[in-house]
Amino acid sequence: MQARAEEIGTRGLMITGGVVVVLSLIFILMDGPGLFWKRFLDGLGNGFVYGAVALALVLIYKATGIINFAQGSLAMFFTFIAWVLSNEQSWPVWLAIVTAMAASALSAAAIERVLIRPFDPSNHLPITIITIALLSVIDGLALYIWFADPKGFPSPFPSTKGDVVTIFGARVFYAQIGIWSTVLITTVLLSLLLNRTRVGLAFRAVSSNIESSRLVGVHVGRTLQFGWALAAAIGTLAGCLFLSSGTTQLQPLFMSQILVFAFASATIGGLDSLVGAVVGGLLVGQLQTMIGGYVKFIGSDLVLATTLVLIILVLLVRPNGLFGSKRVERV
Amino acid sequence: MPYTVRQGTSQHKGLVAAASAVGLLVLLALPYITLPGEKWFGNPTGQILNWQRTLAFAVAILGLNLLIGFSGQISIGHSAFVGLGAYSTVLMTNNSVPFYLALPLAMLLCFAVGCIVGLPALRIKGLYLVVVTFALGIVFPTLIEKYESFTGGSNGLKGKSSLVPKAPFDSMFDPRDRVDPLRYRYYVLLIVAAIMFLTARNMVRSRAGRGLVALRDNATAATINGVPVPIYKVLAFGISAAYCGAAGWMLMARDAQPFASQGSFLVDLGITLIIGLVMGGVATIGGAIPGAIIVVIVRYLLEQLTTKKTLLGVDMNWLATRQGKGGVVSIAFGALLVMFVFVLPGGVMDGLRRLRMRFVRIIPQPSWLKDVGGTPPAAVAAAEADQVMANPLG
Amino acid sequence: MSSVESQGASAGAPTLQPLLEARNLTANYGPIRALHGIDFEVRQGEVVVILGANGAGKTTTIRAICQMVATTGSIKLDGVEISKKSTTDIARSGVAHVPQGRGTFPDLSVEDNLMVGAFTRKDKPGVQADKDTWFSVFPRLAERRAQLAGSLSGGEQQMLAVARALMSRPKVLLLDEPSLGLAPIIVQDLFRRLGTLNKEQGITMLVVEQNANLAFDIADRAYVLEVGEIALQGTAEQLRSDDAVRRAYLGY
């Protein structure tokens, strides 16, 4: 019997909320509310991106029980495709992104069919190894095709100097708001897909009990394939959005750091909760910005390390993540 | 056709002794054999350096095998421990620590860090170790950058002393008369590697080792049977970290001018180790050797390939001059790994075992079983299952 | 309850071929043979029970029908060979399997469990109607319709599993040790309901059980499996009065 997910979720929220409030008050006292607000808004951008990638990771983990190490590489590769389409072929940015997402979905579906399906879904190790192999191949391919020098990535949102809006005294670019809303809309759509459609029901069934899914006539392989495709598309979207904010340049390894934070977000959120993934992402994004801003003796090099340490601390307090459900193992 | 041999008999022991002798001979003679084809394998010095590198990688892969093969937990970030071993070695020897002493110290350091990192795993279940090791692998280079004054940052850290032959105990036998420094270093590394392998084998066969296998196969059953699961998890992590630290020491020990640079210890080293592990054979001791050979030597060959202007008459200049040619190695290894997982999931060790079984079958003769006449078919079938610990890749 | 009808219950003429038929069925777990070439059949509208001790091969038989283990030999559903099909395709052909341990979807709500049971059906209004029907047959499930199935009691999960299986309007219902792990009073209730479902709606069932007493109450025919082979077969009355069966399985 499982503890009810709702109960854990509420407690998780309350604890997170409590800690967040306390820390925020401390920070506001330190440097004033204006700076705090600005940093908060900065952190949102990254947070949503981490949350989006975490969504992709959790999708696959929920359904198959494996960690897709190639998630970042796939996203990176198809972000490059989007760049090629919009830069060299002069497509409108939005179209380039959507096309790249579709291409990534098709490729992931092919990968699942050819490389993953031959294996027994309950045997996790070989499939995980395959994702590591994919990571290697895709990274190498990207390096071979596009080399290592950084490139700029255009934004799909109106983003000239004047496209700013002021919220409570902080200047926020339309582009930033665009990123937040895109990820939010994606999450909502995903939730609707999973909870209100037949395909979503099949997916949730497979995530819950593979054998029984077969017994009711669900095509497990095709359903998982769908999950892989979805995860790839979301990852690609996240990659494109991240680059469009201008914080980093496009180069073959740009997703690695994001991937680490995404893993951390997913783990904090509780690896089998979609909501948790996004909330975890927002939390990690805030941690990263706040630490970078407030804890001054930690230079930019150490932000990554410190954030991870903090995440470990959170996990020590709530081992199943904030929204994860505790499963009692039957012997 | 297969020649059957009963385990424990003098025949069996004779075969094992012969095989070991051959292997030993090859290893000892290696620095004096030059593989033909300098264009591909490099000049004699380069070849010895490559064998040294292979030994170091073998030790690292062995450590990783202890973690993955026996506790079922995967880590692509152990490059951080190799790096930690390497950097700490250089730092210590630059500060008057004798080179040989740096080895156990580096291992101890890595063991401690490994245990600390593994400790939260006592409480956090599931994928914590996977995530944290990946994070470790990514974070390590940034830490190197951060503490530039210590580590030389992106310029790397030069070692001031290196492993030099010394006359032990003022005796008649002075190594400097027999071997040149390069080959001397090879033999030192060989001895270190041998010790690591033997220790690993004994650990696996011990009670503790069997506990680790039990842990991997069924943590709940293991707990019920008195195996302190969490402690073993942490220990497995610490020990594997120590082995990787030793590999780091070895990488520094092999050079007349040790040089540690962060570029050598990125996550792709961690991925390379996993690739070598799988191709050699998961959950095997011996698999670390073929695995290391593949990732070092084959990689070297592939890199050579990307520098050649022509190959068997075909023009390869397009590859040699391409800016992104470094990606070719990654693509090739990834594809190779996929082939292994599909065709030979047990790795090279499994392939060798199958080959051996065509010629020699070893029938298990456990010491508690009284001498049974004849060869019961069940025993022969069991012999096939027994040789390697149950392969989690199935 | 006339809106839920098993397919074929309205067949007028007696069907000559059995609904489910196995000939020389063997099943293997790797190198171990669990079934040694058995024959059995289930006719339209029947309840057939397979009895046997632990390890006799009862569960293996059910799993063999759904191709969840490696088999040789012939298995026919309505005259069509299904022994080469995949588990999913067999389910889509009208075989509903309630596995040992219920096999509910613990993370889905009770309602979703029922909906997923009807996954292969295309008639939305029919599915709705069936769902409502099963909720009225099992009011306890209706009370808990939004609850996660994993939090239900054993007996409730068993009801849910049966209802879920029937949501697909199967040709035949396979039940693998439905009494396992349930309190006796729940088991009595369960078998009573199964009997009713069979009598009133003509739902064909193959039930594998250790609890012979209750099984005989609803069975038309029975087989006794021992170590992978059929030791006895006959009508429920015949087997019930058989001395060996009484001593071994009925306890008196």
Distance from A199 to chain C by nearest Cα, in Å? 10
What integer pLDDT is reported at residue A308 of this predicted model? 79
Q: Please give, rounded to a whole number of angstroms, the shortest distance from the CA of A268 to a CA of chain B.
A: 10
Rounded to the nearest angstrom, the minimum Cα separation between C252 and chain A is 34
Of A201, A217, A218, Cβ closest to residue C112: A201
Quickly state the pLDDT bin for C41 (edges 50, 70, 90): very high
Cβ-Cβ contacts under 8 Å, B282 against chain A? 125
Q: What pLDDT was estimated at residue C86? A: 92
Residue stretches of chain B with pLDDT short of 70: 1-3, 5-8, 38-39, 69-71, 124-127, 161, 163-179, 207-229, 310-313, 316-317, 364-394
Q: What is the 3-state secondary structure (H, E, C) of chain B?
A: CCEEEECCCHHHHHHHHHHHHHHHHHHHHHHHCCCCCHHHHCCHHHHHHHHHHHHHHHHHHHHHHHHHHHHCCCCCCCHHHHHHHHHHHHHHHHCCCCHHHHHHHHHHHHHHHHHHHHHHHHCCCCCHHHHHHHHHHHHHHHHHHHCHHHHCHHHCEECCCCCCCCCHHHCCCCHHHHCCHHHHHHHHHHHHHHHHHHHHHHHHHCHHHHHHHHHHHCHHHHHHCCCCHHHHHHHHHHHHHHHHHHHHHHHHHCCCCCEECHHHHCHHHHHHHHHHHHHHCCCCCCCHHHHHHHHHHHHHHHHHHCCCCEECCEECHHHHCCCCCCHHHHHHHHHHHHHHHHHCCCHHHHHHHHHHHHHEEEECCCCCCCCCCCCCHHHHHHHHHHCCCCCCCC
When pLDDT is averaged across residues A267-278 and rounded to a whole number, the result is 83
To test the contact with chain C by mutation, choose from A58, A62, A215 the residue with the greatest count of C C-beta atoms within 10 A, namely A215
Q: What is the mean pLDDT of residues C149-175?
A: 91
Rounded-to-integer distance, Cα A206 and Cα B116, Å:
37
CB A316, CB B123: distance < 8 Å? yes
Which member of A4, A205, A219 has the closest CB to residue C116? A205
* Share above pLDDT 90 across residues of chain A, in percent, rounded to a whole number: 36
Between CA C173 and CA A292 the distance in angstroms is 62
The pLDDT tens digits of the residues spanning A168-225 come to 667 777 778 888 889 999 999 999 999 999 999 999 999 999 999 999 999 999 999 9
Q: Which long-range contacts (CB under 8 A, 24 or more apart) does B360-365 make?
A: B360/B2, B360/B3, B360/B4, B360/B5, B360/B15, B361/B2, B361/B3, B361/B4, B361/B5, B362/B4, B362/B5, B362/B6, B362/B7, B362/B12, B362/B387, B363/B4, B363/B5, B363/B6, B363/B7, B364/B7, B365/B6, B365/B7, B365/B8, B365/B9
pLDDT, position B223: 59
Residue A2 has pLDDT above 50, yes or no: no
Q: How confident is the model at residue A3 (pLDDT cuts 50, 70, 90)?
A: very low
Q: What is the DSSP string of A170-212?
A: EEEEHHHHHHHHHHHHHHHHHHHHHHHSHHHHHHHHHHH-HHH
Closest by CA position to B189, among listed B51, B89, B29? B51
Average pLDDT of chain C?
86
Selected for mutation to probe chain B from A71, A115, A129, A263 (highest B CB count within 10 Å) is A129
Partners of chain C (3+ Cβ pairs below 8 A) = A
A264 contacts B146? CB cut-off 8 A: no
pLDDT on residue C77:
92
pLDDT at B6: 66
Tens-place pLDDT, residues A11-56: 666 776 787 788 778 777 777 777 778 888 888 888 999 999 999 9
Report which of residues A243 and A311 the model is more confident about.
A243
Higher pLDDT, C55 or C79: C79
Q: Going by DSSP bridges, is the β-strand pair C221-226/C47-52 parallel, antiparallel, or unpaired?
A: parallel
pLDDT of residue C200: 86
| Predicted pLDDT at A147 | 79
Which of A74, A259, A301 best tests the B interface by mutation, with the highest count of B CBs <10 A? Answer: A301
Q: In this structure, what token pair is assigned to residue B54?
A: 């292979």
Question: Rounded mean pLDDT of C98-104?
Answer: 89
Tell me what the mean pLDDT of segment A159-169 comes to: 66
A54 Cα to chain C: minimum distance (Å) = 21
Instruction: Choose the mutation target among B122, B131, B143, B294 for the interface with A, i.e. most A CBs under 10 Å.
Output: B131
Query: Is pLDDT above 60 for C115?
Result: yes
For A308, which residue in chain B has the nearest alpha carbon?
Answer: B135
Beta bridge partners of C40: C22
- Return the pLDDT at A300: 66
Which residues does chain A have within 8 Å of residue C181's beta carbon, measured at their own beta carbons?
none
The mean pLDDT of A234-263, rounded to a whole number, is 85
Residue with tokens 């739902």: C203
Residue pairs spanning A and B at CB distance below 8 A: 143
Q: What number is the average pLDDT over the span A1-17?
A: 56
pLDDT at residue C10 in the model: 46
pLDDT for residue A223: 94
Q: Looking at the DSSP assignment, which residues form a beta bridge with residue C209?
A: C51
Q: Is the pLDDT of residue C51 over 60?
A: yes
Question: What does the pLDDT read at residue C242?
Answer: 81
Does B391 lie at the interface with A, CB-CB under 8 angstroms?
Answer: no
Residues in C touching A217 (Cβ below 8 Å): 88, 91-92, 119-120, 168
Q: Do A215 and C106 touch (CB under 8 A)?
A: no
Q: What percent of chain C has pLDDT over 70?
A: 92
Concatenated DSSP letters of C195-213 = HHHHHHH--EEEEEES-HH
The minimal CB distance from B142 to the residues A69, A301, A315 is found for A301
Range name among A33-42, C25-34, C103-112 with the lowest pLDDT average: A33-42
For the stretch C39-78, what's the b/e string if a residue is b when 16 or more beta carbons lie within 10 angstroms of its beta carbon? ebbbbbbbbbbbbbeeebbbbbbbbbbbbbbebebebbbb
CB atoms within 10 A of CB B302: 16
Q: Is there a contact between B142 and A302 if contact means CB atoms under 8 Å apart?
A: yes
Alpha-carbon gap, residue B314 to C111, rounded angstroms: 66
pLDDT at B350: 86
| Complex ipTM more than 0.90, yes or no | no
How many beta-carbon contacts under 8 Å exist across A and C?
A: 73
